[in-house]
């Protein structure tokens, strides 16, 4: 198992620098192809939102302004991509099957970002998404949830600042659910090359299913030596305890399942996934 294609949605330059740096680092680690995707807003989508009482000329003016803004944003994102690729001397070429070198490409399309990102993610081994809090842009959160819920593929949440390393020391959040099992499958390539792995679990986090003590021998069958650690809630919050335990381990990657409870329940009541999404400062590999 390996990572050969990485999808990188680039919606803006606000958090694009960190997610782009993270994506390029992943591409270098695996000798993979980084496919940057920028989705431009379709100006025609503005017309239904214009409301009643506006003349045709006013609607056309709004559409023209939207098109201008979209073009300017696309140009700035492309410039960001070109600078980063040139600085890191990454080849702008489609990868060849036998090659194990990092390559990159940039594609700009028009449409609904969450739909197109989810569709393209289905043919990527990993999708790197900017941290929603870092971008201050709803597009990042939409792309993240689109990949989690509609692609069937793993997503790597990039931190607000570019990481120096990814995958040398990995924490695995385990609670026995199907989501955490899917996360293990997605993380195996990383786990097999890691220098140290720690399984993190706790009584308050565990659901019906295998315990951490059963996961360790399973990972050993795949050549992964993992120690077992315990999550101690911080202020009664499991998610905070998980991040604290990962920081104490010196982790540069956390693997976890996402939304064992419904997204609506987590939105209203809170939950581990929600807390991690809002507060993580290191790369998070998520699968649902």
Domain boundaries, the chain: 5-157, 169-287
CA 275 to chain centre: 15
The kind and range of the H/E element at 70 are helix 56-87
pLDDT > 90: what percent of the chain? 61
More confident residue, 42 or 26: 26
Quick one: which of 202, 263, 261, 199 has its CA closest to 232? 202
CATH class of 169-287: alpha beta
pLDDT at 278: 87
| 5-157 CATH pick, 3.40.50.300, 3.40.50.40, 3.40.50.620, 2.40.110.20 | 3.40.50.620
The confidence score (pLDDT) of residue 2 equals 86
* 177-235: pLDDT as tens digits: 999 999 999 999 999 999 999 999 998 888 889 999 999 999 999 999 999 999 999 99
pLDDT band at 33 (very low <50, low <70, confident <90, very high): very high
pLDDT at 252: 98
pLDDT digits (tens, 9 = 90+) for 130-155: 887 644 555 667 788 888 889 999 99
Q: List, for residues 253-277, the tens digit of each pLDDT value.
A: 999 998 755 544 444 334 788 889 8
d(CA 110, CA 18): 24
DSSP H or E run through 173: strand 169-173
């Amino acid at each position: 198992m390996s990572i050969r294609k990485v999808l990188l949605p680039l919606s803006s330059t606000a958090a694009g620098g960190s997610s782009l740096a993270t994506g390029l680092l992943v591409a270098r680690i695996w000798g993979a192809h980084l496919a940057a995707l920028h989705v431009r807003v379709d100006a025609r989508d503005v017309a239904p939102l214009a409301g009643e009482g506006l003349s045709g000329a006013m609607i056309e003016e709004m559409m023209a302004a939207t098109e201008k803004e979209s073009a300017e944003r696309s140009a700035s994102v492309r410039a960001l991509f070109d600078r980063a690729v040139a600085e890191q001397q990454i080849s702008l070429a489609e990868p060849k099957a036998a090659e194990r070198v990092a390559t990159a490409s940039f594609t700009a399309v028009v449409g609904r970002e969450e739909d197109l990102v989810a569709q393209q993610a289905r043919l990527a081994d990993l999708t790197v998404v900017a941290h929603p809090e870092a971008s201050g842009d709803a597009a990042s959160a939409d792309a993240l949830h689109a990949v989690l819920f509609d692609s069937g593929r793993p997503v790597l949440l990039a931190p607000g600042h570019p990481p120096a390393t990814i995958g040398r020391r990995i924490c695995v959040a385990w609670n026995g659910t199907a989501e955490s099992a899917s996360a293990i499958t997605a993380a195996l390539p990383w786990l097999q090359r890691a220098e140290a792995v720690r399984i993190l679990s706790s009584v308050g986090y565990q659901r019906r299913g295998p315990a951490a003590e059963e996961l360790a021998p399973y990972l050993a069958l795949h050549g992964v030596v993992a120690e077992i650690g315990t999550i101690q809630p911080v202020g009664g919050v499991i998610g905070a305890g998980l991040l604290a335990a990962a920081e104490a381990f010196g982790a540069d990657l956390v693997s976890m399942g996402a939304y064992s409870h419904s997204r609506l329940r987590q939105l209203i009541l809170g939950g581990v996934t929600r807390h991690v999404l809002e507060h993580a400062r290191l790369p998070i590999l998520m699968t649902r």
